[in-house]
Structure 1
Amino acid sequence: MKKERLTKRLALFTALTLTGAMLAGCGNTDAAESSSDAQTGVTADTQASAGDASADVVYRTLDEIKESGTINIGVFSDKNPFGYVDENGEYQGYDVYFANRLAEDLGVDVNFVSTEAASRIEYLQTGKVDVILANFTVTPERAEEVDFALPYMNVSLGVISPDSAVVESLDDLTADDPVIVISGTTAETYLTENYPDLTLQKYDSYAAAKTALENGSGVAWANDNTEVIAFALQNPGYTVGIPELGSTDTIAPAVSKGNTTVLDWINEEIKALGEENFFHADYEATLADTYGSDYEDTLVVEGGETK
């Protein structure tokens, strides 16, 4: 009898011991999981912070650009005579001439980054380029997303069409008369706001828009008047029926929002270049063959001072 009670007590003791061990083990597991969760939480918070930071505007300061030895400048590669790649694979044009001087005076090499109109703001915000010099018209909407430096050129909108059916007023067009525009340009914005009933044929690049005009995909092409005038001068059979549409605006370099070191340097550079009539020299080297001398004083802004 005593032996039986002893056996039962031993069994109970063993069971309690095992249960305690299991509970202790579970407690340790929970603690480990809690510790792991805590560590994961810190990592998650850090990643969230990193994610938030990456969502913000990214840019390099002037000192960082100097230290790297290279400035990344966004230009067009298909918009002759402002930014294009020639038969030798070299970037040329009015904006490129200016970009080369910026790099020279900063004491760094220049890396040209080909951009399309709709990508200009994105390329700045993501740090793909330090500066945009791609016929970037200054508008209040764009100024909310990027910082514009002083202007170096005047511009307004224009409309080009075939000689066989010259468009002299957009009021004469109907929804059956598509007008070619390039996405992300002031022409798209202006026509959308002021001529909502027009049908817009949208393209991503200047080359595509020009091809569309040549193929008759639209009755006319609306774009910067500098561009459509150049196209008409270089391609017989087309007329700029509307040489000025809307207000006269300015073209300026753009940097990432808040990049004051680069912005301030470019502004001072533009003022200094104005003292040597740099932008008139730029015009004569890159635009005179297209426009002649008649447009020089109208288009060029010297030293950041508009008339």
Structure 2
Amino acid sequence: RVEYLKTNKVDLILANFTVTPERAEAVDFCEPYMNVALGSVSHKSHVITSLDDVKDEQVIVISGTTAETYLTANYPNIKQQKFDTYAAAKTAFENDKNALWVNDNTEVIAFANGDLAEYVVGIETLGNPDTIAPAVAKGNESLLTWINDEMVKLGSQSFFHGAYEKTLLDTYGADYEDTLVVEPGQN
């Protein structure tokens, strides 16, 4: 997505773009509208609330994700079961009641709140929390200023909480609304 902004194929990236230091060197980020972090989900009969409690459990990750990178760097002794697809990871997780799945907290919250109701979010936040924000091409000050002004106006109207309630409440539940939603300019 950074390339699209750098080559002027698009003026704005808005959907699910995590702010990272590496990306901030290449693009200009606007005001954030959502918080995100890594988290974990486990079966309700074997809830794991700390990675320090992991012994022989299978820790499932998707290959190439921030979850894999984080665990490798911070918990090198934890044996990761890496899968190339969500479908394969989901199947392995559902077939092992002692397993732990580490992924974006939005993913694990949605999984735990799903129809099965057999799973719980054991760790809500692993590592440093990040934000999701729109981005524009580096140096496009006029568009950056305009978007930030609009984001702050929307934030003053609690737009993002309203959007969450209309579109994401069924997925994540009311308990996570204030954890996930950011109203720009309303710190």
For Structure 1 versus Structure 2, the TM-score category normalised by the shorter chain is 0.7 to 0.9
Paired residue total? 186
Choose from 32, 41, 61 the match for 1:151. 32
State the partner residue of 2:170: 289
Partner of residue 131, structure 2: 250
SS in 2 for 1:166: coil
Displacement after TM superposition at 1:232 (Å): 0.5
The answer (yes or no) to whether the contact 1:151–1:304 under 8 Å persists in 2 is: no
Percent pairwise identity: 66
- Amino acid of the structure 1 residue aligned with 2:74: N
CA apart distance, 1:159? 0.6
The reply to whether residue 179 of structure 1 matches residue 59 of structure 2 is yes
In the alignment, the residues of structure 2 paired with residue 124 and residue 205 of structure 1 have an alpha-carbon distance, to the nearest angstrom, of: 28
Q: Note the C-alpha offset of 1:283.
A: 0.9
TM-score by length of 1: 0.51
Match of 1:69? none
> Which of these two proteins has the greater Rg computed from alpha carbons?
1
Which position in structure 1 is the counterpart of 2:109?
229
2-structure distance, mates of 1:211, 1:131: 36
Quote the Cα distance in structure 2 between the aligned partners of 1:204 and 1:122. 24
Is the CA contact 1:138–1:249 (under 8 Å) kept in the aligned structure 2?
yes
Q: Which residue of 2 aligns with 1:141?
A: 22
Contact 1:137 1:186 in 2 (8 A): no
**Higher helix content, 1 or 2:** 1
2:180 corresponds to? 299
Per mean C-alpha deviation after superposition, the further-off stretch among 130-139 and 160-169 is 130-139
Q: Which has the higher contact order (CA 8 A, sep 6+)?
A: 2
1:1-307 alignment, distance < 5 Å: 120-122=1-3, 124-125=5-6, 129-174=10-55, 177-183=57-63, 185-203=65-83, 206-216=86-96, 219-234=99-114, 235-305=116-186, 307=187
User: What is the rounded CA distance, in whole Å, between the counterparts of 2:11 and 2:92 in structure 1?
Assistant: 32
Structure 1 contact 156–249 (Cα < 8 Å) conserved: yes
Change (3 A) 1:132 1:212: farther
Unaligned runs of 5+ in 2: none
Question: C-alpha root-mean-square deviation of aligned residues, in Å?
Answer: 3.1
TM-score by length of 2: 0.77
**Separation of aligned partners in 2, 1:257 and 1:198:** 39
Provide structure 1 residue ranges, at least 5 long, that are not aligned to the other structure.
Answer: 1-119
